[in-house]
Amino acid sequence: MDAKQSKVAVVTGAGSGIGRAVAVELLRAGWSVALAGRRAGALEETAALVPDGASAAVRTDVSRPEEVAALFAATADRFGRVDLLFNNAGTFGPGGVPVEDLPYEAWRHVVDTNLHGAFLCAQAAYRRMKEQDPRGGRIINNGSVSAHAPRPHSVAYTATKHALTGLTKSLALDGRAYGIAVGQIDIGNAATDMTEGMRTGALQADGRVAVEPVMDVADVARTVRHMAELPLEANVQFATVLATTMPYVGRG
């Protein structure tokens, strides 16, 4: 399929983990995908997983407005439009640090990446989607089950994921007039490098350290693709995909 005729996605944080899995899922389904992330080499590795796919690697720090603007300009130049933004770039920040000991610089880095970056990318996507012909598109924000219940010592990450829920709702409301659908996927314990520690033991709310189950990240990718391929008249506002037996629903 010609890149200019296929659906076009921008996936942030595409160099690893959930972002890589979603990018690969979309490329295999015939989408054209702009791969965004801080590490150019990792983006090229993602592209190589689907060698016949229509992809473009664009090194991007989503916390920097000028780099986000360049990402969407490069996507439009290469593929002609933007149909989907998967707002995925994010960081946990330093693990296991009590709130009273968290350095401001660490707090700021998490907020800049998870919240400011998501806003900047959504704003740039919104501008493109509002003006392109045909008008409209979809934004999917990567939230977390931390948007509902925090882990111990995760104040920066949890605060940003709660804020993403507000961002999702506001964007969804404002996008109605322009055919822009906005939803959020909240993910719990997908097996990636970021969750590797859960296989050996994660701090629980009662102070215990316990091994937690994880799920295949490909199951997350398929869910994002389902959300992405709905007609714009339909929207998954919020979806939660999690390892079935992880300690999330219930007490303890």
What amino acid positions are annotated as catalytic residues?
157
Question: β-pairing, 137-142 with 180-188?
Answer: parallel
DSSP of 50-73? STTSEEEEEE--TTSHHHHHHHHH
Buried b (16+ CB within 10 A) or exposed e, 218-230: eebbbbbbebbee
Extract the tokens encoding 163.
């804020």
| 90/233 Cα distance (integer angstroms) | 29
Q: Which residue type, as a one-letter code, is found at position 1? A: M
